[in-house]
Structure 1
Amino acid sequence: MTAVFAIQSRPAIAAHPNELDRKRIERALRGRKRYRYVSPVVEAVTGGYRIESPCCSRNIDPDGGVIDVALMLHEPVAGAWKLFAKNHRNGTWTFHSKHPRLGSALDLLSEDPERCFWQ
């Protein structure tokens, strides 16, 4: 006698964005080195998170409006994080780096030694 089992396939659920990691990013940004006197916002986007903040330096927006700071996208197959900086001149996201863990991407974003993100 042969047993037949039905395997139900479920639609894949995207791991990101999720509330836990969004809060983790917010918490990590509190310890950043640059522009500590503004309050960045972490927005959920398909596959990751977009970080925006008031432009207190007036380098990008002379009126101090809200600008994009960084885009973090998760690669589910590789399990890695891609970090993008905003090119404000042409309004596009520019690939910056790839990280095996969210923590290492957040460390770079918080330190930002080259001022790629917190302009």
Structure 2
Amino acid sequence: MNAAVLKRPVGMPAHPNELDLKRIERALAARKRYRYVSPDVRAVTGGYLIQSPCCSRNIDADGGVIDIALLHHDAMGGTWKLFCKDHKRGTWEFHSVHQRLNSATDELNADLERVFWQ
């Protein structure tokens, strides 16, 4: 196969892309919380936004769609930054950095501190 076909055009960001979006969607099936709703993964500049209906009603009493997590790919360092939403302030808070996408989604799915799936 011609190696030139595999190269991304100069100036084109690596993320978001359809392959990693699908990887994240599949990974979310293993989450520990909010198992009865279907999260949505959307491409955003530099990464992926995960949203879901609020089945606990802790954040949205009407069960509306809320932000769960933001995954941002740091092109310079080649790492994944995982952010959680401070719903009271309406801001994203840095949570952790990961070398691989799988590690970031594992952290999101386990949610031991219950900061994502509230």
Q: Same fold (TM over 0.5)?
A: yes
Over the aligned positions, Cα root-mean-square deviation in angstroms equals: 0.7
Q: Which residue type is aligned with residue 31 of structure 1?
A: A
Kindly, what percent of the aligned residue pairs are identical? Answer: 68
Q: Which residue type is aligned with residue 20 of structure 1?
A: L
Q: TM-score, normalised by structure 2?
A: 0.91
CA deviations over 1:90-119 (Å, ceiling 9, x no partner): 100000000011010000001101101000
Specify the alignment match of 2:93 in structure 1.
94
Task: Give 3-state SS (helix, strand or coil) of 1:105's partner.
Answer: helix
Q: Give the ranges of 4+ consecutive aligned residues of structure 1 lying more than 6 Å apart after TM superposition.
A: none
Q: TM-score, normalised by structure 1?
A: 0.91
CA deviations over 1:47-87 (Å, ceiling 9, x no partner): 00000000000000000000000000000111000000000
Could you say which structure has the larger radius of gyration? 1
Ranges in structure 1 where 5+ consecutive residues have no aligned partner: 1-9
| Alignment size in residue pairs | 110
The structure with the largest helix share of the pair is: 2
Specify the alignment match of 1:7 in structure 2.
none
Task: Give 3-state SS (helix, strand or coil) of 1:30's partner.
Answer: helix
Specify the alignment match of 1:24 in structure 2.
23
Specify the alignment match of 1:49 in structure 2.
48
Q: Which residue type is aligned with residue 13 of structure 1?
A: M
Ranges in structure 2 where 5+ consecutive residues have no aligned partner: 1-8
Q: Distance in 1 between matches of 2:76 and 2:52?
A: 30
Q: Distance in 2 between matches of 1:114 and 1:50?
A: 20
Alignment of 1:66-77 (within 5 A): 66-77=65-76
- The alpha carbon displacement at 1:12 in A equals 1.4
Task: Give 3-state SS (helix, strand or coil) of 2:68's partner.
Answer: strand
Specify the alignment match of 1:40 in structure 2.
39
1:114 has 2:113 as partner = yes
